[in-house]
Structure 1
């Protein structure tokens, strides 16, 4: 993940502060599932310490790890877009400490403050674009006959 998609790099200080007003500190032991693909997305996290793997269900196989995220990175973007259903799953790969956000409260703040809402939307959009690229590369590496583009 590029530094341009971490919260500190992507959000101006005033908007970071407004977002952090809504944070609560949480922790997850190794192996905890933060969310499951296909379920309702009503919260998100920013990692303080530890790593979280994003994965995709693959019929007849173990979930494919798409990306591993760490300090300062957004875990979960599906809360921001209808139908608010997780597009991937997420699991703590090490002990994780994170800031947790209630999506409803963040959306209310976005509606009340359009400048804040735009900053959040641009940040989340950048994250989605980066995750889409990472997912494509990872799935090509796993399942395409010649990987993600190397010569045969």
Structure 2
């Protein structure tokens, strides 16, 4: 199974007066989202299931891809890695799954899948981590297929 984790692109800064769920992408974030979406569209299998947090900034990010997607409330900011993995049906999904979400959940999920324990990896805004579950000699392994940052595309 392939699990592709995409952090939302750069968003407006929040403060106590702004609801975190309604923060929008900055102009730079819109460019990041479109650049990464073009790369993803060329590389994702057609059958990829696309899931996104219901936060406005993640929906803006995923819309740049131009594919059908589902907003999943359990992927909202503050979700736990277990919730993300359950939504993606890891490791049993027959199709690749793209999840558009937030830090620190994405970094925690990556660390967990790579056997790093309870640490949090840093995932840049707008970046993608592509992970693959495979069996090798009867042992399940998670491998990193690629890591892409929008600035490098």
Structure 1 length normalisation: TM-score?
Answer: 0.29
Higher helix fraction: Structure 1 or Structure 2?
1
Which of structures 1 and 2 has the bigger CA Rg?
Answer: 1
TM-score, length-normalised on structure 2? 0.29
